[in-house]
């Protein structure tokens, strides 16, 4: 009985492998879901929707965006980490999901390395310090001076996000106090700042750029070391606080265990999308720098980002349950 049973098992396993291989060869055969781990309207949402549309055309299947906000991006990231590793659920990850949350969260809902298969680092994005125009400040220094005499609050896309830490680093370097008001994404945070419920915001430049151009927000400074090409008249915060620098990035990840050939197809589609002149122009409007890396390069980038942000998190003494 042992030999026939063994042969049956072997034949069954061989058939399963052949079926899986054939299925992957035909990937994608149905709609793909791209999880955006923040509320609609923020930088990651804007980048994700542009990329999803163009990648979908390249792959011949629609890529549907699903916003899963909360937990500074950890809820959406955890959802993808637990998804079937077949390429039909992918994550638009950020520095928050793959560097900050693993350092900040006491309860770890996922491992940023072991639970994901890197696909491609897409863009690097500047952040911006902006205020409601009713706040009587026009420069970073004027904001610092006001905060020393008048209690202020600043909004961000959530606890533990790079925008939260941008604010904490700013407070530390400027020697001021400002109350942090976290939201479930840049969209809701912007709504309250535009309505002057909160006077100050640290936001990604892509999601804030339209409001800056319309005059509904006043940009005081970008967080990168160099001025943003799309807003050359907006100084860097470092011009007032030498050494200040933060930024965010967007990258595609799949669940760990996704077949290498599927990762290769997703990576190839991402590279085609990021080379499209229309996508390049769209990203350029908010000074996002296109990278379009290999999976291996993204994996190395995640490791480097965790190393870079660890001392910042420790200095800010940020931890979340």
Query: Can you tell me whether residue 121 is helix, strand or coil?
Result: strand
Query: Can you tell me whether residue 218 is helix, strand or coil?
Result: strand
Nearest to 205 by CA among 259, 262, 128: 128
pLDDT of residue 313: 84
Query: Can you tell me whether residue 253 is helix, strand or coil?
Result: strand
Same domain assignment for residues 120 and 252? yes
Phi, psi values for residue 150, rounded to 5°: -135, 120
What's the farthest any 2 CA atoms get from each other in the chain? 86
Q: Choose the final residue of a domain: 239, 268, 285.
A: 239
Give pTM, 2 decimals: 0.78
Q: Choose the final residue of a domain: 221, 239, 257.
A: 239
pLDDT of residue 25: 64
Note whether 93 and 77 are within 8 A (CB): yes
pLDDT of residue 199: 98
The total number of structural domains that make up the chain: 2
Q: Choose the final residue of a domain: 218, 239, 260.
A: 239
Distance CA 157, CA 147 (A): 21
Distance CA 90, CA 28 (A): 13
Token duo for residue 207: 């999601």
- Residue at 167 is within a domain: yes
- Residue at 1 is within a domain: no
Counting as low any pLDDT under 50, the low residues of the chain are 1-23
Task: Give the structural domain span for 106.
Answer: 30-124+248-311
Same domain assignment for residues 119 and 257? yes
Note whether 79 and 254 are within 8 A (CB): no
Distance CA 205, CA 219 (A): 10
**CATH number where 149 lies:** 3.40.190.10
Same domain assignment for residues 152 and 208? yes
Same domain assignment for residues 217 and 307? no
């Amino acid at each position: 009985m042992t030999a026939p049973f063994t042969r049956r098992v072997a034949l069954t396993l061989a058939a399963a492998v052949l079926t899986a291989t054939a299925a992957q060869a035909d990937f994608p055969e149905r709609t793909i879901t791209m999880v955006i781990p923040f509320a609609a309207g923020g930088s990651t949402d804007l980048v994700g929707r542009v990329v999803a549309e163009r990648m979908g055309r390249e792959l011949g299947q629609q890529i549907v965006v699903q916003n899963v906000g909360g937990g500074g991006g950890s809820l959406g990231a955890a959802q993808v980490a637990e998804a079937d590793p077949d390429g039909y659920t992918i994550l638009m990850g950020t520095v928050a999901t793959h560097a900050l949350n693993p350092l900040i969260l006491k309860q770890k809902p996922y491992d940023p390395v072991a639970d994901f298969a890197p696909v491609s680092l897409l863009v690097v994005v500047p952040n911006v310090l902006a205020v409601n125009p009713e706040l009587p400040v026009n420069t970073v220094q004027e904001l610092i001076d006001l905060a020393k005499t008048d209690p202020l609050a600043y909004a961000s896309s959530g606890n533990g996000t790079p925008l939260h830490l941008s604010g904490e680093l700013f407070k530390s370097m400027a020697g001021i106090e400002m109350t942090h008001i976290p939201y479930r994404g840049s969209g809701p945070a912007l709504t309250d700042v535009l309505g002057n419920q909160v006077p100050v915001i640290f936001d990604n430049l892509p999601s804030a750029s339209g409001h800056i151009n319309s005059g509904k927000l006043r940009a005081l400074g970008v967080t990168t070391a160099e001025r943003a090409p799309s807003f050359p008249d907006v100084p860097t915060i470092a011009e007032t606080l030498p050494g200040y620098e933060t930024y965010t990035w967007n990258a595609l990840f799949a669940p760990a265990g996704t077949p290498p050939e599927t990762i290769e197809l997703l990576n190839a589609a991402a590279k085609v999308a990021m080379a499209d002149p229309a996508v390049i122009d769209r990203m350029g409007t908010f000074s996002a720098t296109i990278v379009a890396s290999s999976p291996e390069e993204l994996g190395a980038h995640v490791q480097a980002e965790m190393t870079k942000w660890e001392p910042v998190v420790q200095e800010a003494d940020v931890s979340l349950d």
